[in-house]
Amino acid sequence: MNRKFISTLIYANAFIVGNVLMGFEMLGSRYLNPYFGSGIGAWASLISVVLCALAIGYFAGGVIVDKHPSPFDISIAVAAAAIYLAFVPATADPVMGWILNTVGQGPAGILLASSALLLVPLTFLGTLSPMAVRLLLPSTEEIGRVSGFVYGISTIGNVCGTLLTTFVLIPQIGSRDITYLYAALLGVCSISLFLGARKVR
């Protein structure tokens, strides 16, 4: 019962975090646009930073979960991402303006601005998948099925987050309100993982 409960909880969080991860990438373009435009350079920077953040998160998550295999660590990582996102709406404009005035509109400036927005929170969120795989594995015989299911659910969440943010949320509410919504969702995820870890102890 406990294993089934924690498995369901982790899969649900993988889906929600996948939503937020790609949804916030789409929002990143809205934060960059007034300062660096929305051309191919901005999108190349956003995509590159997202991929770098995920790579760092995957590496770090794998190392952490081998040393401390507990949902508590996932809850901490998700909480850190939530806190970072909660500060983005208030700090984005001064940070973007400072980067524009200091570094300029060239590739270095766009990459730095994209990193300031996305690198830290998405690195924290990237730790979830390898941690989830490790926690869900009852034996090495099921590693292919479990890892495929985790990354599949997360990727479906990515697609839903991209489409929902682009076609529903952005036309209806502002980027800053969406960012607060995502921070709140991650906060709920973190709390659920924390309470779930206590339940199965």
- Judge whether 61 and 14 are in contact, CB under 8 Å: no
Predicted TM-score of the model (pTM): 0.93
Rounded to whole angstroms, the Cα distance separating 97 from 104 reads 10
Give the domain ranges of the chain: 2-199
Rounded to whole angstroms, the Cα distance separating 163 from 22 reads 9
According to the model, what pLDDT value does residue 106 have? 94
- Report how far Cα 83 is from the mean position of its chain's Cα atoms: 12
According to the model, what pLDDT value does residue 124 have? 97
Q: 177 is written with which tokens? A: 């309100």
CATH architecture entry for 2-199: Up-down Bundle (1.20)
According to the model, what pLDDT value does residue 140 have? 54
Give the tens place of pLDDT for each residue, 60-105: 999 998 888 888 899 999 999 999 999 999 999 999 999 999 999 9
Question: Is residue 4 classed exposed, middle or buried when 0-12, 13-18 and 19+ CB atoms within 10 A define those classes?
Answer: exposed
According to the model, what pLDDT value does residue 14 have? 95
Rounded to whole angstroms, the Cα distance separating 97 from 54 reads 26
Low-confidence ranges of the chain (pLDDT < 50): 1
